[in-house]
Amino acid sequence: MTVQETTWNADAARYELHVDGALAGWIDTRSGDGVLAMTHTEVHESFQGQGLSKPLIRAALEDAVSKEFAVAPLCPAVARYVDRHEVPGLRIAGQ
């Protein structure tokens, strides 16, 4: 069984998705004034085509909500996800 885990890496200021312990993808961020800007989403080449960006983005947004951040979805993948999916409690910066 495949194990997926998304964690916050404070040193790198990014959310990381690990699959069976291997780094599969990440979302780079910047934060300030209660806003978490999600600037870039990357899935490692060897993990592409497996639908991993959606669970990574969902987990990152849910964590941002739990920490009471407003989110600036600057990354196009995150912006598309926000447009297409309901994320309870999500606040978009500037809205």
Neighbour-count burial for 21-56, b at 16+ CB within 10 Å, e otherwise: eeebbbbbbeeeeebbbbbebbbeeebeeeebbeeb
Q: What is the pLDDT of residues 32-70, one digit of tens each?
A: 999 999 999 999 999 999 999 999 999 999 999 999 999
Q: Which of 1, 70, 58, 55 is nearest to 24 (CA)?
A: 55
pLDDT (average), residues 24-38: 97
> For residue 1, is pLDDT > 70?
no
pTM here is 0.94
Position 82 scores a pLDDT of 97
DSSP state of 30: E
Angle ∠(26,11,75) on CA atoms, nearest 5: 35
Q: How many Å apart are CA 74 and CA 8, to the nearest integer? A: 18
